[in-house]
Structure formats: structure tokens, C-alpha cells
Amino acid sequence: MALTEDTKVQIARRIAAELQDDWVVNVGTGMPTAVLKCVPDERDIIFHSENGIVGMGPEPTDPAQIDTDLQSAGKRPVTLMPGGCFVHHRDSFAIARGGMLDAAILGGYQVAENGDLANWKLPGAKLGSIGGAMDICVGAKRVFIMMTHTTPDGKPKIVRSLNYPLTASRCVTKIFTELAVIAVTAAGLVLETLAPGVSLETVQKLTEPKLILGKGLGLPG
């Protein structure tokens, strides 16, 4: 299903609340870029883009400020935070592969209950490139997935096992959707929070694996 901008912001705020000062965080293309606007200025978080930006900021709000030479990995205009820099593509991937990413925020097509991720190609699609997602998923200490809970035709995207092309195995830490926040643990999928007005029954109906109830439930507005 398609999300409204308000709902995207709500999910992005929840992810932003998960981030800690002094973290280096990779931000993937698409929906995850909404998180950049939701981090308060006083927070000390360094955002990384795989094409070679360390200290990436959100998209410019003023079209006159757009610099066509300053783009994210998704080819969207972005800004550079104070102290930010550009690095060689090789060095950017040394950060990802070298375990220097405290977290990565990525989109997803499917997540399995064991943490397997599919996010680069739909079954039957002629186009698709895994890009740097595999390296980032394996190298990051935490992988946060921001996605819709179901496909456009209402099928669960959180599944028992993947039937989409694999990006990386057992890499996902938490899943953030418009309905809930779900942690991937050795014991199974733990339902940490529910979005306002969403019932446990609804989330379970739209999630293939059985969910384990966490202690606190509720998404901040």
C-alpha cells in the first residue's frame, strides 16, 4: 500500500528516536531519506551515503539551494552538514565493509523471520541491481528496515521465508512500518510497538510469522 507523507514522517520519527549520538548511519534510497529531516539539530549523528558522502544532510527546502553536483546514492539532491566531506567510492565502501557503520536504514521488499532481507529486485523484474546493499547489510552493526507492512495487493512483506531475491542473510535488526515496530531476535519476531489505532489482531493478520509480544506498545506522533 502507498503511504501518505504524514505516515512516512511518523515512521521516520520513530527510527530517528532509535539512533544514538556519535553513530555513523548509512541512509538508503527512497523512504529512508525521510529520517534525515526528523533528527533534531542538537543530535550528533553522522549520516553516510554509499556514493561517498560522510555528513549528509536532508534535501534542500529551497529549490535555489539545490546543487546538482551534491546528490545521494539515489540521485536526489541533498545537503552537506557542517564538517561533512566527500570521499572516494573505495573509501566509502571501506566504511561499510569495515564495520564502521553503527546502523543502516534501508527499504525492503520482504523480511523473513530469521532476519533475511530482500530489497533489490522483485520476482520476474527485468531490471534491478543489488548495488551496495549487500555490503552495507553485512557490514553495519544494526540494520533498520523502513517499509510498508504489505505489498500493494495486501500480501505480507514480513514472511516466514523469502521468495524474493536475497540481499543478505540474517542481517535485519528491526522493521519499521506504518503499523508497527518489530525486532528480529533469536527467539523470533518481537512486536515492540503498535501505531496509534492499530490492533494486535490487524498486525498479526498481515504478518506471516507468529509475533511475540513486547513490553511496551505505541508509536510517537
Query: H or E element: which one contains 204?
Result: helix 200-205
**Given the residues 5, 50, 113, 192, the one annotated as active site:** 50
Which residues make beta-bridge pairs with 146?
176
Catalytic annotation present for 59:
no
Q: What is the CA radius of gyration of the chain?
A: 17
What is the DSSP track for 25-72?
EEE-SSGGGGGGGGS-TT---EEEETTTEEEEEPPPSSGGG--TT-B-
Copy the grid coordinates of residue 221: 506522533
Contact of 122 with 164, CB cutoff 8 Å: yes
What is the CB neighbour count within 10 angstroms for residue 200? 13
- The Cα-based distances of 192 to 34, 52, 129 in angstroms read 21, 34, 32
Helices (H) and strands (E) in the chain, counts: 4, 13
Contact of 12 with 34, CB cutoff 8 Å: yes
Looking up cell 536532508, which residue turns up?
Answer: 58
Residues involved in catalysis? 50
